[in-house]
Amino acid sequence: MENGQMVRRMALTVCLLGGCVWCLAVATRADSAQAQTPGTEFKPVAPVDALMHGQMVFFKEITEQLGKPAGKDRNHEIEESAEVLAELANVNRHNKDKDDYRGWATTLRDTALELAKAAEKEGGEGEAQMQKLVQTLKSTCAACHDVYRP
């Protein structure tokens, strides 16, 4: 085996091992972040207004991306923005003890996750599904805002 080839293989091996160590560290940190002391309840650290602002930022990003020509990069942006929107809605579910509020936040979360999955598809079916899901997101926000927005 030639020296250059051996060096490349060794470098690849080091990179792969480093990646594995990094993944294990992230997974361990995520597990410990999820662990809660028994009897404690999750409590958002951001106020509702900040979460709503974040949700609006990512919703706008999604609609702007949908206005662009279809493509892998655009769909990836939509997918990531939808995932963050879903997480913000997931956190927002814990801001009020009202069933209707939690229901709308849950619907927003679930719809945003569906949108992220739809963004993985290529072609007309995925495009139509994304457009429909964005309308569902919009109407969900409007229904909640009709009741809770001053």
**Cβ contacts of residue 62 below 8 Å, gap of 6+?**
78, 81, 82, 85, 115, 134, 137
pLDDT bucket at 28, cuts 50 / 70 / 90: very low
Q: By three-state DSSP, how is residue 24 classified?
A: helix
Residue 70: which residues within 8 A CB-CB, separation 6 or more? 122, 127
Query: Residue 141 falls within a domain, yes or no?
Result: yes
| Cβ atoms within 10 Å of 63's Cβ, excluding its own | 14
34-49 pLDDT, tens digit each: 555 666 788 889 999 9
58 occurs within a structural domain: yes
Lowest mean pLDDT among 66-75, 80-89, 111-120: 66-75
Q: Provide the number of structural domains found in the chain.
A: 2
Q: Give the pLDDT confidence of 59-80 residue by residue, as tens digits.
A: 999 999 999 988 879 999 999 9
Domain of 138, CATH number, reads 1.20.120.10
- Do 99 and 136 belong to one domain? yes
In this predicted model, what pLDDT tens digit does every residue of 123-145 receive, in sequence order? Answer: 778 899 999 999 999 999 999 99
Whole-prediction pTM: 0.72
For residue 68, the enclosing domain spans 48-148
Question: Are both 136 and 77 inside the same structural domain?
Answer: yes
Residue 42 located in a structural domain: no
